Every structure is written in structure tokens, then in C-alpha cells.
A = this chain, B = another copy of it.
Amino acid sequence: MNHEPSFWTDFPETAGDLKKVSAIIEETCASQNPVVKEGLSGLFDGNGKLLRPGLLLIAAGFGRKQEKHYKLAACLEMLHTATLIHDDVIDDSPLRRGLPAVHARFGKQDAVLIGDYLLSKCFLLAAEYTSPQNAVYLARLMSRMCAMEIEQHASRFVSDLGLRRYLRKIMGKSAILFTLACHVGADEAKAARQTTERLRRAGYNIGMAFQIIDDILDYAGDPSTLRKPLGNDIKEGLVTLPLIAAVSRDETGGLKALFSKPSFTVEDGNEIMSLVKASKGVDVAYSFAEVYTNRALREISLLPKGQGQRALEKIAKRLLIRDT
């Protein structure tokens, strides 16, 4: 695996750490089976940002970083990737990380199994090389993420989805991984209790901002740099913050009426997209992402000074203005 994610070029220590993580993932997932091999090959070849393992390792730097941190970081990325594979099956999303999704290459049937395989390897790695508590964390994380995805799936095409429900959903399906990355990294490194708590909160806020930006990119991303199709959420009937914000500002009720249809034509999707942009739904959503980023920056500013603290500050700011 030739792994050099551009996201980390300013952070040479983390970039080096992540090479180790990639090697562990590669070794753990090694399989003689050609379908497994092929299916997983594209996924860890430097196309992902390795954000979650990167955050875990930076958080570990606030205490004593150990071998198990690399294993845990690998677990987190494997769990994340497995859920992406299954999500893409569920959402029927054709692209992932700029490449055809696993199910688009091998069919949904193998994609389900490849996701399962990856999950089992993730739990195997956790059980073999880390403390039992971490296996508990990972399993709990995963059941929560599944429950959230099921809930999200059940609430498709429900246009009166409230703000609180949306925030709870993105916590459960996305920010939770960032929270765990920062918390477990620091905790397993025996960082000071207060530092561990601050890192946990920083991770949570970074994760919330990250997901809101992700949801914004589905409306306002640049299709040439974005590595998944624009408007995919809408097509799937998924209500995210830009739409929630737009509906609340939509005095004619046209947006709500449109979104209440049981399914969409391509034209419906396009019209929703432009109505959301016209009623400033994207701008309002962005201001939410800013709030979470500022909360994260506040926590980060109170961390012990040093390389790790500076890195986190840069990352939080960079994730807010990302376009991919």
C-alpha cells in the first residue's frame, strides 16, 4: 500500500504513524480469496483521509503513545470502512472515495460479505491486541451506529424531521467515531483526566462539524473535486441540515410539498436542490458547522500546548473549509 494522504502532509509525525496503521490494516485483512483481496484493495490505498485514526494517534500524543494505539487506530478505520461498504449497499451509492463503491464492482451480495469480513477482522484485531474494554467500546459504538442507520432509513421521505433529531442522528452515525477516536487515544495513553475529557469533547465537536459539512457538500459541493455524486442524499430521501434549515425558511411551503412525495424524479431532486440553495439552507447549515468548530477550537485552546494541540487546531479549521 502506497499511502500518502495529502491531508496529512503538514503533519509529518501523524503521516508517518498512519503509514504504520495502513500496514496493520493490510496485514490484518490479508486474504487468499481474490474477491476479498480485490474488494478491499482500493479501499485502503490512500483514497481515504484516515481522519479517525489520525485523530486517535494525535490524542495519544497527549500521553504515552504505545503499540496498541496503532492497532486501535486500524480497528477504527476498518470499522468505519465496513459501515461505509454496507451504507453504500443500502443507499445504492455508486461512488465511494472517488472510486466505484464495492457493491458496484462486485455486486451487493459480495459487498455485504466483504463488509462482514472487515468487521470480523476489526473485532479480531481489537480482541487480540488491545484491552477488553476497547472491544466493548467498539462493539457498543457499532450497535449504536447500526441503530442510528436503521432509524435514519426509517425516516426517509419524512420532511418534518426536526433539528434535534437530525443532530442526534449525526452524533450516532458519525460524530461518535470522532469522539471515540480522541477519547480512546488519550485514555489508553494515560493522558491526564482533564485532558482526556477535553479531547473527547473536541472530537465530538469536530465530528459534528465534519458531518454537517459532509451534508452540505451533497448540495453545494463541486462535482469535479467531490468524490461522490452530488444530490445523492436527496435522491435517497435523506433529510439533512441544509434542507431542514431551508424548509423552516420556505414560506410558500413548496419545498415541503415537494419533499413529501413518496419518491422523486430527477427533476424533483434538482428542484429541491435549487430551492434549498435559494432559501439559504446551505448558509444556515454552514453557520451550524462553524458553531461546532468554534466549540472544538475552544476545547483545543485549553489543551496542554505543543505539537498535538497545534495540529488539532489546524485540522478543525481545515475540515470546516474542505471541499471534498
- Whether A124 pairs with B150 at a CB distance below 8 angstroms is no
Closest to A128 in B: B136
Q: Does A255 contact B (CB under 8 A)?
A: no
Contact B117 A150 (CB under 8 A): yes
A135 touches B127 (CB 8 A): yes
Q: Are B119 and A119 in contact (CB under 8 A)?
A: yes
A87 to B: closest C-beta gap in Å = 9
- Cβ B149 vs Cβ A113 within 8 A: yes
User: Smallest CB-CB separation from A114: which chain B residue?
Assistant: B150
Give Cα A82 to B283, complex, Å: 42
Q: Is the interface of A mostly helix, strand, loop or mixed?
A: helix
Q: Which residue of B lies closest to A124 (CB)?
A: B139
Complex copy number for this chain = 2
Instruction: Check A127–B132 contact: CB distance below 8 A.
Output: yes
Instruction: Say whether A31 faces chain B, with CB atoms less than 8 Å apart.
Output: yes
CB-CB under 8 A from A113, the residues of chain B are 86, 90, 146, 149-150, 153
Chain B residues lying within 8 Å of A138, measured Cβ to Cβ, are 123
Q: How far is the CA of A53 from the CA of B142 in the complex (A)?
A: 24
Q: Mark A180-224, 1 if CB is under 8 A from B, else 0.
A: 000000000000000000000000000000000000000000000
Report the count of interface residues on A (CB-CB < 8 A).
Answer: 41
Would you call B146 and A120 a contact (CB within 8 A)? yes
- Expressed in whole angstroms, the Cα–Cα distance for A136 and B90 within the complex equals 29
Alpha-carbon distance between A268 and B112 when the two chains are bound, in angstroms: 29
Q: Which residue of B lies closest to A143 (CB)?
A: B120
Contact of A147 among B36, B90, B151 (CB under 8 A): B36
> Nearest Cβ in chain B — how far from A104, in angstroms?
16
Instruction: Tell me if A33 is interfacial: C-beta within 8 Å of chain B.
Output: yes
A127 to B36, CA, bound (A): 26
**Extra contacts besides A90-B109, A114-B146, A123-B123 (13): CB < 8 Å:** A33-B147, A35-B154, A89-B108, A89-B112, A90-B112, A117-B143, A117-B147, A117-B150, A119-B119, A119-B142, A120-B146, A123-B139, A124-B139
Minimum-distance CB pairs A-B, first 3: A124-B139, A127-B135, A120-B142
